[in-house]
Amino acid sequence: MKHSPARAALAPWILLAPFLTVFVVFTLYPAASSLWLSTRQTFGPGVSVPVGGSNYSNLFHDPSFWKALRNTVVFTLGSVLIQLPLSLLLAIILNRPDIRARTFFRVVLFSPVLVGVVFVAMLFSVLFGKRTGLVNQLLHASTGWDLDFPWLDTYVMPALIVATLWQYVGFNMIYFLAALQNVPKELEEASRMDTAAVWSRFRHVTLPAIMPVGTFVVLLSIIGSFQLFELPYILMNGTGGPEDRGLTLVMYLYQTGFQTGDLGFAAAIGWVMALVLIACAAAQRLISRKAEAA
């Protein structure tokens, strides 16, 4: 089979072509044009007027934006700090050699990921309902908790943290499981021989070994949580809840862009979000590099 050097040089570009086309047209171009779009005010994609930087300055003074930012940050922190340790714990347990029915547990715990967001919204709106919801009833029976506690109005963020926990703890568990299984067996055996306490074994052997994957999962989690939208949107029927308690950044973006029709303002919100996430990603690289050096 003859092939000319010219053909060989072309090959990489042939392989890259489909991706590059889609990438340039549907990722790079919109990213760039969204900067332009953010300097305009629109009513749908067909109608727009230039407004300069006023979208950004209005954003800065917009109480709804700050509420959304605060809600999103609170949710992200709560989610990451509660969900990830739980996933890790489950993964460590599941990784033990003496666990029976490992496949069963793995499949079952992973399954909530398969469910659509509508079901999760329905499920948790029933569970967290004011007087008839299971959560309030159980809490009331055991601790005299207020039966009318408004999980779905005023305290919707904690309810969302629990709901997304149910949804994603198994998913992150699989990632951690994968990481744990890549830890060299010899390392683990060696430390087990040493009658080292469980906690110190974890801290000095397991944790450093899974650190790269760990930071990756944390970053993914932060990025994902930061973009929370569909669940609260369905849970609260398209509104942001009373006093925007349930408003997240992407929900605010969607409301301004696709309900009010101001795609320009939505683009501005998008850019602010992008900057925050880029900062997070940069921080993750720094931390990851430091951890590897250690």
Partner 1 sequence: MKPDPSTPPPRSLAVVLISAIAIVSTALTLALGSPRRDGATMWTFARLHYDIYAPAIAEWNASGKPPVTCSVLGVQAIEQRMLSSFLSQTRSADLLEVERRVAARAFAGPPEAIGFVDLTDRLKAEGLMDRINGPSFTPWTSRGRIYGLPHDVHPVMLGYRADIVEAAGIDVNTIETWDDFARVLGPLMLNPDGTRRKDRYLLNLWETHMDALESLVLQAGGGVIAQSGLPMLDDPINARVLAHVAAWGHGKDRIAADAPYFSASGNQLLLDGFVLASFVPDWMCNLWRKEIPQLAGKVKLMPLPAWEKGGRRTSVWGGTMLGISREAKNQDELWEFAKHLYLSPDLSRRLFLEGDIISPVREFWNDPIYDQPDPFFGGQARGRLFVDLADDLPPRYNSPFGAMAVERLRAVASELAAIADATPDATVADLESHAQRLLTKVQEDVMRHARRNRFFASEVPGAAQ
Partner 2 sequence: MNPRQSRAMSMAPMLLCHALLSAAALLVLLPFAWLAFATIRSGPDFFTSTFLPSGDGLFGIAWDRLTLENYRNLFVTAGFGRSLLSSLFLASVTALLATLVCAMAGYALARLEFKGRGFVAALVLAALVIPPPLLVASGFRLLFDLNLLDSFAGLIIPAMGPVFGVFLFRQAVVSGVPRELLEAARSDGCGEIRAFFRIVLPLVQPMTAAFLLITFLGVWNNYLTPQIVLQSEEKFPLAVMIAQLKNVYYQDYGLLMAGTLVSIVPVAGLFLFLQRDFVAGLTSGAIKG
In the complex, what is the shortest distance from the CB of residue 287 to partner 2, in angstroms, rounded to a whole number? 11
Q: Which residues, 148 to 177, sit near partner 2 by CB under 8 A?
A: 166, 169-170, 174-175, 177
Per-residue b or e along 264-282, where b marks 16 or more CB atoms closer than 10 Å to that residue's CB: bbbbbbbbbbeebeeebee
49 is a contact residue toward partner 1 (CB under 8 A): yes
DSSP letter for 102, please: H
The pairs formed by 51-60 with CB atoms below 8 angstroms and a separation of 24 or more are 51/264, 55/264, 55/265, 55/267, 55/268, 56/268, 56/272, 58/265, 59/265, 59/268, 59/269, 59/272
Please, are residues 173 and 87 in contact by the beta-carbon 8 Å criterion?
A: yes
182 is a contact residue toward partner 1 (CB under 8 A): no
136 is a contact residue toward partner 1 (CB under 8 A): no
Please, are residues 129 and 186 in contact by the beta-carbon 8 Å criterion?
A: no
260 is a contact residue toward partner 1 (CB under 8 A): yes
Sequential DSSP letters for 3-57? --HHHHHHHHHHHHHHHHHHHIIIIIHHHHHHHHHTTEEESSTT-EEE-TTHHHH
Which region, judged by CB under 8 A, interacts with partner 2, from 63-71, 74-82, 201-209, 222-230? Answer: 222-230
Identify the residue among 51, 88, 160, 273 touching partner 2 (CB under 8 A): 273
73 is a contact residue toward partner 2 (CB under 8 A): no
- Overall size of the chain counted in residues: 294
Nearer to partner 2, 144 or 219 (CB): 219
58 is a contact residue toward partner 1 (CB under 8 A): yes
Identify the residue among 5, 6, 19, 61 touching partner 2 (CB under 8 A): 19
Identify the residue among 5, 18, 45, 184 touching partner 1 (CB under 8 A): 45
145 is a contact residue toward partner 2 (CB under 8 A): no
Most distant CA atoms of the chain, gap in Å: 82
DSSP letter for 168, please: H
Nearer to partner 2, 74 or 123 (CB): 123
242 is a contact residue toward partner 1 (CB under 8 A): yes
- Number of chain residues interacting with partner 1 (CB under 8 A): 25
Identify the residue among 5, 6, 49, 96 touching partner 2 (CB under 8 A): 96
3-state helix, strand, coil in the chain (%, to 5): 75, 0, 20
Find which of partner 2, partner 1, none residue 243 binds, CB within 5 to 8 Å per kind: partner 1
63 is a contact residue toward partner 2 (CB under 8 A): no
Other CB atoms within 10 A of residue 80 CB: 19
In the complex, what is the shortest distance from the CB of residue 278 to partner 1, in angstroms, rounded to a whole number? 27
Nearer to partner 1, 200 or 260 (CB): 260
The residue type at 146: D
Residues at the interface with partner 1 (CB under 8 A): 41, 43-47, 49, 51, 54, 58, 61, 63, 130-132, 153, 237-239, 242-243, 258-261
